[in-house]
Amino acid sequence: MIKFSDLMVSPIRSKTLVLLITSLLSCHTLAVTRTAPLAKMEVFAELDGAVGGITFTSTDRLIFSYHPFYQPKTKVAELLADGSRKPFPNSDWQQCHDLQGTAKDPDTCLNWVLGLRTDDQDRVWLLDSGQQTPRIEPKLVAWDTKKNQLDRIIHLPAPVSLAESQHNDFVISSRHQTIVIADEGIATGPIGDKAALVVVDLNTGISRRLLQGDNSVMPDLQRPLIIDKDSKNRKQIEVYVGADGIALDKTQTWLYFAPMNKDKIYRVQMTDLIDPSLTPAALSAKVETYANKPNNGGLSIDEANNLYLTEVGERTIGVIPAESRQYRTYVHDERMVWPDGVSYGKQGYLYSGAAQLPLSAPFNNGKAENSPPYYIFRFKPLAAGVRGN
């Protein structure tokens, strides 16, 4: 998932410039299979703004983030049955300043939200990276949807969060009472060389920053983002995103994760990741290379351990079957420009929003061609999905 909030809130400084060029340069050859789609995609909803993350409660309430790249006034909303939207958890949380421009208590508002998940107690967790100017300290906000009240806030202060931190997506492990966050590391520039995983102990609220600088979370600087590579509108985006997609299997044994700009997906056992006795080198040795993949954003998993990943540049969501570990196309739709997150939800479908980032002015030679409707798509996975992914 790519956000680049600095482009939208202040003049672009040379050191944070995200270069967008149309190029005939070639990428590394992908060790993945290009095939016809296996399943059908359908439009579930049409919205007025771009969708980032999506989560469902046990009663099928659909909560989503408006993509923070566009600096939406409403950060998070609920999609109602009649297609209308209402701010979530309420309108008071949507801005960190009042009508006079005075800063509010940052523990009473949302600043920059992309990732959101629902736990087994129907608490919706919102990951606020806090990077929209004026920045605030990153935090996790848990909202009890049964009681309609704030449950808790967990702060993510330095050194867990860096100036470069762009806390993107996360998973919740009830078994281990742990949240694991993928920090892309691109809040202040186009190269995510400070990417890491952040592990949050839900019993104590204490967090640790892990694997920073490890190959498994670092982007490949020889793999720029290529958009619509086989079309006349092909473009190349010189942004290199670190740890991005993240998923947890049904038994909460294996955590899967990957940088966006990388041809590999990795996994590590949760028991190793949360073991504070492991040195950085020892933890790194526990990380396994799982499969080859294209550049991707969001990641999800089903009960049979098949992985689903959004191929952001190709209007495609692919699958890595557990048996073969060979990537192939699963669904495709020409309207699905930049599929971002992918999440399990209502009626057994996987859901994904198309954020249209390559059509926005910063990535389209200054010409904004992104426009409503912004779609939420859905499709049936090969096996039942895993809640919380």
Distance from C-alpha of 318 to C-alpha of 327, rounded to nearest angstrom: 7
Q: Could you tell me what percent of the chain has a pLDDT over 90?
A: 86
Q: What is the pLDDT of residues 177-190, one digit of tens each?
A: 999 999 999 999 99
Residue 220, CA atoms < 13 Å, CB-side half-sphere: 19
State if pTM tops 0.85. Answer: yes
Q: What is the pLDDT of residues 169-225, one digit of tens each?
A: 999 999 999 999 999 999 999 999 999 999 999 999 999 999 999 999 999 999 999
Let me know: does 359 contact 372? Beta carbons within 8 Å.
no
Does the structure show a pLDDT above 60 at 26?
A: no
Residue 198, CA atoms < 13 Å, CB-side half-sphere: 33
Let me know: does 196 contact 176? Beta carbons within 8 Å.
no
The closest alpha carbon to 63, from 53, 48, 71, belongs to 53
The tokens 């909460």 sit on which residue?
252
- The whole-number pLDDT of residue 32 equals 59
| Contact partners, residue 98, CB within 8 Å, separation at least 6 | 104
Does the structure show a pLDDT above 50 at 11?
A: no
The kind and range of the H/E element at 64 are strand 62-66
Other beta carbons less than 10 A from residue 151's beta carbon:
16
Residue 107, CA atoms < 13 Å, CB-side half-sphere: 7
Q: What is the pLDDT of residues 126-137, one digit of tens each?
A: 999 999 999 999
Distance from C-alpha of 375 to C-alpha of 356, rounded to nearest angstrom: 10
Does the structure show a pLDDT above 90 at 31?
A: no
Within the chain, what is the greatest distance between any pair of CA atoms? 58
- The whole-number pLDDT of residue 33 equals 55
Backbone φ, ψ for residue 68 (5° rounding) = -70, -15
Distance from C-alpha of 224 to C-alpha of 27, rounded to nearest angstrom: 7
- The whole-number pLDDT of residue 34 equals 65
Q: How far is CA 198 from CA 89, 162, 168, 240, 370, in A?
A: 25, 11, 11, 19, 33
Does the structure show a pLDDT above 60 at 274?
A: yes
The closest alpha carbon to 2, from 207, 295, 220, belongs to 295
